[in-house]
Amino acid sequence: MHIPVLKEDVIRVLSPKRGDFVVDLTAGGGGHSVEFAKRLGKDGILVLIDWDEEMIKKAERKITEMVDEKDRPEIFFITANFADIDEVFSEIQIDRKPDIFFADLGISSFHLEEGTRGFSFRIEGPLDMRISRSIKLTAKEVVMNFSERQLADIIYRYALRKK
């Protein structure tokens, strides 16, 4: 079962209101977005972004099941890297500024529960670790083919570098 992290606190602190425009940059299974959608009502706008197409489908299913169709905001389900937010916004062409940006960074518990994705410590599977299947390079290729120097650079760059 998926439990959205700090759901009540997120809603209390961000306090989305009817008619607001909210952007969830890491929609995942839609746990937080369902709560946003319920509060925005039909005059609101909700943009859901996730780099993993499977997660966007899960989020869409969850919102369809759990948010009353008659009072659902206008919702955009978008498979994209949030780093490309400029392109996403030029595609959807909404002529107003968002009231809330929300990012719940990392991977989802769904990724950890699925062996084939290569993130799980418990379940056997290939060393894949791609969030987006549109990326060709897998973790296995990195570990098996990169030189010691390249691997050391990656660890330094992403884990050890100090300001």
**Residue 63 Cβ, how far from ligand SAM at the closest point, in Å?**
11
Nearer to ligand SAM, 23 or 45 (CB): 23
**Residue 131 Cβ, how far from ligand SAM at the closest point, in Å?**
5
Helix axes 7-14, 31-40, angle to 10 degrees: 40
Burial of residue 58 (number of CB atoms within 10 Å: 0-12, 13-18, 19+): buried
Number of residues interacting with ligand SAM: please give it, by CB under 6 A. 21
DSSP string, 57-103: HHHHHHHHHHS-GGGPPEEEEEES-GGGHHHHHHHH---S--SEEE-
Residues 4-23 that bind ligand SAM (CB under 6 A): 4
Rg over alpha carbons for the chain, rounded to the nearest Å, is: 18
**Quick check: 81 binds ligand SAM (CB under 6 A)?**
yes
Choose one: 67-75, 101-109, 119-127, 154-162; the region binding ligand SAM (CB under 6 A): 101-109
**Quick check: 55 binds ligand SAM (CB under 6 A)?**
yes
**Quick check: 50 binds ligand SAM (CB under 6 A)?**
yes
Q: Which residues bind ligand SAM (CB under 6 A)?
A: 2, 4, 26, 28-32, 49-52, 55, 81-83, 104, 106-108, 131
